[in-house]
Structure 1
């Protein structure tokens, strides 16, 4: 009778399924999480691109219009993930080269890599001092280049939040756009470093 028990295959399928099932469930949940994240990111990027086009218009200079544009980005994400926290930050630069290298330009006469000893600099943000980031908060004015950064953060779905890693998903999207040339762009003043 012991030899019959050793040769029996009954129940082996159940044991094999018990070994494979957790792997299959994790793969299924992981696939759903990845698909959902891609979907939320797509909504975030699409709404950010529309927001950038809207911000570049002259009519977007009012705070009421800016709040409406921020709300449209949040609404697009909330339609998919209602609990998401959505933030939209706008910073404006004089031109694309300032957006690529945000430190205010200066003449490094003594070649020490610092703006000091009365060296001249371009005061892009018009605050009277040299800055590592010469941007101005908000959409700026005519012909300025606006960097929009949208961030959406939300708790991961279901059981995937129990897996290793952060329980939060944070998605970030960025875009650059130049404001309409509805007026002449003022040249930034120059200053001297202390």
Structure 2
């Protein structure tokens, strides 16, 4: 064995026994996964907390809007609701509030009734329908925009969107924007006569 080969063998044996720097190498494998998990946990925790605040604030706003005079104070109540939610949001978060009034709880989430003469599941070809919300055209929802009248069931829906707090979406394959949605259905107090649902028969185009 030449001196050079012997020297190489001794060097390899020394390297095999040398454990200095192993922790750094191990962390290079484990570190990214650990950091991703921590950021993911914080992201999930923040989303759940935000959703909880969103639902709680919505219930409070809904109760305030269902009483007599709620429509007059609608802007003030909506502003208070938005401020409550934005307090736990990152800068640049957007909040969208929708209100739909229904004559009955059973109408919530239901499309206007029509006679499907051609069996295609679509209101078309001059098929007759009942214009329940009186908007002049067939709608996929029987609801009327706004708070409605006394005794109406009102569907409150709030949608919040904001950029993720941590830059981990690329590693985890998640969208860069978080979208949270909450809804609640409450009936207006009987402070007057209910307007009732529309019964006008029209035809789809």
Structure 1 residues 15-39: Cα deviation after superposition (integer angstroms, max 9, x where no partner): 1122111111111111111111111
Compute the TM-score of the two structures, normalised by the length of structure 2: 0.81
Measure how far apart 1:159 and its partner are. 2.1
Structure 2 Cα separation of the partners of residues 109 and 168 of structure 1: 40
Measure how far apart 1:161 and its partner are. 4.6
Structure 1 residues 42-72: Cα deviation after superposition (integer angstroms, max 9, x where no partner): 111110111111111111122xx11112112
Runs of 4+ with >4 A deviation: 109-120
**Residue 36 of structure 1: aligned partner:** 46
Q: Which one of 10, 24, 28 corresponds to residue 18 of structure 1?
A: 28
Shift in CA distance, 51/5, structure 1 to aligned 2, threshold 3 Å: same
Please, which runs of 5 or more residues in structure 1 have no aligned partner?
none
**Residue 133 of structure 1: aligned partner:** 141
Structure 2 Cα separation of the partners of residues 69 and 149 of structure 1: 14
**Residue 91 of structure 1: aligned partner:** 100
- Count of paired positions: 189
Q: Is the 8 A contact 1:33 1:160 kept in 2?
A: no
Measure how far apart 1:188 and its partner are. 2.9
**RMSD of Structure 2 on Structure 1 (CA):** 2.3
Map 1:1-194 onto structure 2 (within 5 A).
Answer: 1-2=10-11, 3-62=13-72, 65-83=73-91, 84-101=93-110, 103-106=111-114, 108=115, 112=119, 114=123, 119=128, 121=130, 123-163=131-171, 164-194=173-203
Q: Is the 8 A contact 1:128 1:191 kept in 2?
A: no
